[in-house]
Structure 1
Amino acid sequence: MLLLIHMLDPIPNPTLTICPSRGQAGVSWDVMFVDGIVICTGSRKQMEERLDSWRTILVQMVSAAGTGYFFNTKRNRLRDKLVLRKHDPFVNKHVLFFEKRKIRSI
């Protein structure tokens, strides 16, 4: 049996100087580790934009009335599944809508 031990060493400086594969030696990159994901960008602003896009997902909400009516909405990836009370035009009432599935990251 092979046992793999994964250790994370603290990074003393969040801005690392690396040599990218495109031949740009000595380019400064901002690196951020988020839940096992590494985000590498050329500037802190780009990193924050990429992180914001990773946080938000598009989900499909389906009516609990069983009419088949659905709509799409955005939510934070780290939150629990959504349950909303909105108007269902097929029954002309406010009903609960449950999150059915994730469509994609935004």
Structure 2
Amino acid sequence: MMSEPSTIWLEGRIVEEDSGFTLSGLCRATGASESQVVLWVSEGAFGEQDGAQQTWRFTGTSLYRARVAVRLASDFDINPPGIALALDLLDEIDALRARVTRS
């Protein structure tokens, strides 16, 4: 996952990594539609979600990734498989930067 801090600043509030969001809560926090998030989940953008959509829970990291996904979708009109790939590539970039910083 992207190497963001364990807390996320969201519209004047701090969100802890272990915060739990429902599907509708994640959509409200990011401006994404439920159908967008469902498609992104099906492509693996937020890890595996088991069970019915009403039981899905998302972390602070998922919130961060969803906000990035919304921007990618709106700014670049990227499709759901492309969103998942872009998020993974951004993870790789972050990991490489962290590795260079440690060196």
Instruction: Report the TM-score, using the length of structure 2 for normalisation.
Output: 0.30
- Whichever structure has more helix as a proportion of its residues is 2
* Rg larger in structure: 1
